Amino acid sequence: MEIRSAEISGVVSLAQGVPSFDTPECIKKKAIEAIQEGRSARYSLSPGLLELREAIEYDLSKENIFYDFEKEIIVTAGSIEAITATLLALIKKGEEVLIPDPTYTSYQAAIKTAGGQPVFFPLDESAGWALNLEELEKRITPKTRAILFCNPNNPTGTVYSREQLLRLIELAEEHNLYVLSDEVYRDFIYDNLDYFSLSQFSGFRKRIIHIFSFSKAYAMTGWRVAYLATDQSLARKILPIHDALVTCAPVVSQWGALAALEMAKDDVLFFKQSFLKRRELICQGMDEMKDWFSFVHPSSAYFVFPRFENRLKEKLERIELPGKIQAGLREDQKKSLSWKLALDLMTNARVALVPGSAFGENGENHLRLCFGRSEEDIEEALKRMKNYFKKFF
């Protein structure tokens, strides 16, 4: 949608999940110092700078998560590289990886890159997009090798409860499955909601891969730096794949990540407070379009995932998009009402959003709106959407 919207003049985008903020000055300054002092010109060790891994160990320990920086932490070129390297190391061709529906769309590509088969299990929208563990268990077969999910969830903004996670890890133990826990939005949890990481279950550490990215928390999406932490028995298998893929994460970005952990906590707090304000702004706007949408109030991250009502679905079914607008779509996308609405909004309202079906079958009849963007963009997008529905519906 970002690529398509770039071809249309004047589009306001709430599509791609990137924060509007620049990287904090303390991070940029330390990275520049590393360049000037000649500390970024050469590869680091493949698992990453010792200084950064030691800081990661300390940072995790404050959350009662304990990994050895020398043997159990690998700095990666973004979280998706961490996920892909892990899958390449741990699953065989044709094995299945369970992922929630809806969930971050790139998981499917990572699983397929590793030769695996993604298998969706539905989240329960009526329960605030909670894990549907009964449906998860039904989909476990002899071919199932792992469970991959993000907590908090993208696109729904859900935070999974301690009880749900305990049952999930019990199922993984019972069926000998690996669990990849992607926690890139853990710094943006609202309303004093309790957050629990699977990595705090130390008794299951030999099957858990803990993944975190600096991209969202520290406004560093362009720096491409993240990490995974796991038991050394798994880290030993993942490290050669990581080395083959990227040798090491960008060294200048690693110095920036070290500065983030040491100096940017106040910046993260400022980002969180800003996202809280933007969450209320976008939810108010969606409330004002209640004739067309219903939604679960997001409790984390910076996405809202509204469902469009039957009244809107009936009208969408009668719309025929011009062939040039549908160009490049797969047949299933052409049949999707969420794609139809997203493309029509982009064409007639100049607003770019992500169709819900991009996140799985259970995301159909939804749209994802990112409130990580500026207040000005959010207000303008909502204004254009309201005018669009008045004019065309």
Question: DSSP readout, 250-265?
Answer: -HHHHHHHHHHHHH-H
User: What's the pLDDT score for residue 49?
Assistant: 98
Residue 393: predicted pLDDT: 76
User: What residue ranges in the chain does DSSP mark as E strands?
Assistant: 12-13, 73-76, 96-101, 117-124, 130-131, 144-150, 178-182, 208-213, 226-230, 293-294, 303-304, 307-308, 351-352, 354-355, 367-370
Fold exhibited by the domain 2-17+267-383: Aspartate Aminotransferase, domain 1 (3.90.1150)
pLDDT, position 308:
94
Using the structure block, give the residue that is written with the tokens 């204004």. 383
Contact 73, 57 (CB under 8 A): yes
CB 11 within 8 A of CB 346: yes
Residues in the chain where the model's pLDDT stays below 70? none
pLDDT at position 328: 83
**The pLDDT value given to residue 340:** 94
Determine the Cα–Cα distance for residues 187 and 59; give it in Å rounded to an integer.
13
Which architecture does CATH list for 25-263?
A: 3-Layer(aba) Sandwich (3.40)
Structure tokens at 356: 């819900």
What pLDDT is recorded for position 297?
A: 95
Does an H or E element contain 326, and which? Answer: helix 323-326
Domain boundaries, the chain: 2-17+267-383, 25-263
* Pair 188, 271: CB distance under 8 Å: yes
Query: 344 with 372: CB under 8 angstroms?
Result: no
